[in-house]
Amino acid sequence: MGDTSGRYLPRQQNRTLDLHRGLRRAASSVIVQLQTGKIALASYLGTFGAAPTTECPCGLGRQDADHILTSCPTYADMRNEVLWNEAREPDYRRILSQGPLVKKAAQFMLRTRLLGQFRTLPPSYRVSASGS
């Protein structure tokens, strides 16, 4: 193989497809983590000793998905930009029950870099190829 005129393009296309598959997988696994509450935040990790405390470093309470998504002051600017740029929704359960918002919630969580397993994703990460 490699001796035909089409040898460059297919290789490039395969790499691009692999990348997009990986990105979508990250987003969907964050959404599952948000919905189950089993997410790498202090409120969960601290319950079995994987974090020194269940409290958020901001000092305002437990560091759970509700706190990070709706009230933590550390991420206020990012929240306004990523999550609430169209309609402000302070209800954590409602965020997770609406398709467009839950995708933004996943993007926001990835952007905070709080979830260690996803820290290698680029800041330009989008949860879907259409950029929504």
Q: Give the interface with Zn ion as residue ranges (CB under 5 A).
A: 56, 58, 72
Q: How far is the CB of 35 from Zn ion (least distance, A)?
A: 20
User: Residue 56 or 110: which CB sits closer to Zn ion?
Assistant: 56
**Cβ atoms of residues 102 and 87 within 8 Å:** no
According to DSSP H, which parts of the chain are helical? 8-36, 42-45, 65-66, 76-78, 92-97, 99-112
Least distance between Zn ion and beta carbon 122 (Å) = 25
- Shorter beta-carbon distance to Zn ion: residue 56 or 95: 56
- 72 versus 115: smaller Cβ distance to Zn ion: 72
Tell me the closest approach of the beta carbon of residue 57 to Zn ion, in angstroms.
7
Token duo for residue 102: 């839950």
Asked if 127 and 24 count as a contact pair (C-beta separation under 8 A), the reply is yes
Cβ 130 to Zn ion, closest distance in Å? 31
Query: Within a 10 A sphere around the Cβ of 105, how many other Cβ atoms?
Result: 28
Answer whether 109's CB lies under 8 Å from 87's CB.
no
Instruction: Select 40 or 58, whichever has its Cβ closest to Zn ion.
Output: 58
